[in-house]
Structure 1
Amino acid sequence: MSHETQQRVQSINGDEVRSRLVRRILSGEWQAGARIPSCRKIASEIGSNANTVNRELQRLGAEGLVRTEPRRGTYVTGSGISGILRSDLEDKVEELTRQAIGTGLTRDDLIALIDQAFDVTRTTSIAFAECNSTDLNEMSNLIANSTGVRVSPVLIEDLAERNRSAPFDLILSPLFHLAEVRNAIDDGDRILELNFTASTKTLRKLALLDTDRVVTVAASTIGG
């Protein structure tokens, strides 16, 4: 191993490896049920070593975020995501508290700011609209896990009626369903389009296709 490679490997410690693994799960790159790449492959991608990656995957296994099946591999379970999010939130609150103290805010000042933010967030009604139940649930969970924002999953066919009975403050829609959502909602200012990018796995498959291969991209709406 060259000196340059040794420096690169040693620059990524266990906590950083764990953080990167967790980010891939929370971002949806590795979804629930997906098989995680080999430790050697992950180590090569992030600049660590296979032993460190294996150790951190075992930690995630103990936390319930992944499971390892002998001779088959390691898979994402998704059951430990709430615990990971809470841990990350505790770190952010600790950092926020340090910043507040550094700027001269008192404990009561900080609590008042949190109460204000909590009230605004709690009273904001956000919907996510999709055309089928499977994608609706998966994408709603993806949004919640990656951003911390809770959304109400609503099928597009039910959107108009749900919005009439209890109007939403904001409606999230995938770009390819934007026309359908606009048809269901009169107030277009409350609609926010989301552009879900292809996963790294999908992009890699496309990149490895033969140059003479014909690829068809299908959209479910005219607007998409």
Structure 2
Amino acid sequence: MSIPMEPMSVNDVYRIILDRISAGQYPRGSRLPSCRQMATDLGSNPSTVDRAVRRLAELGILRTVPRTGTYVATAGAPVAHSQGEVADEVRRVLRRAWRSGVPIDDIRAIVADAVDEIETAPRIAFVECNRRDLQHMHSLVRQQSRFEMQPVLLADAWGRKLDEEFDIVTTPVFHLNDLGDVVSDFDNVVEITFIASQTALRQLVSLRNARRLVVAAPTERGVSWMASVVGQYFSGPIERFHIGVDDPAMLDGVEVVVLNNAARLPDGWELRIPNIVPIEWELDPRFAASFEERIATLLTRRRETAR
């Protein structure tokens, strides 16, 4: 008697689609097979695939066009400029220098010095799971640090070992566990503490009399992290909603939804919730003071180990 296989979970399908995007099986801009087709291919069911697809769409990795289909996103909140954009910017700066009277030989020397500086600088990655927060948080960290960092979207890191590509990998503390598949040694990882903005915290305090409050996020860890943050300021019961996984009917009758500013509720539900509190993240000033020291210490240790 054969033992029936355990059906695929939403997380299983989510990871498979991400892997196929990373491997180029679903190229950027391409149209995905229908949920029914993918379900047949994966041995899953259309409902599970649809929930995984919706979660990826919430993260900006996929985009759904009504009556047309679902596509791998080609745009979104930009996390880095394209090579062509960078080349155009460099040319504009060089032309401006030449028009200002800087001799060609001096321009060449400036460019050479800049390249040497880049080649000897430490390679540091900043990893986040969605495009908007990647751009926002990366900007905050850069303002507090003298180190240049390369922004990396977590979905783009699947199949890679970032600590082999970079000297140091940094990430918000609530995504630390998410790096398990993309780093081989957590000694090369520096977690960064972010806190909810004061504006959002004041809103949470004012909601102490709400009868039904829900925290929502597109990942399980995100939901848990949001619940822990809200629980410090809201004494009532806190319900949890996993975007793209849980049934939206759970939101019926909810007075307040608290969610990451980068997340979105299922279509139509944002208009049905009386009060939505978006959480914007700020760099913890207590952590920012020691951030450069931690980076410098880790770089020194790596250099000594390499000798």
Instruction: Give the structure with the larger helix fraction.
Output: 1
Q: Looking at CA atoms only, which structure, 1 or 2, has the larger radius of gyration?
A: 2
Using structure 1 for the length normalisation, give the TM-score. Answer: 0.40
> Normalized per residue, which structure has more strand?
2
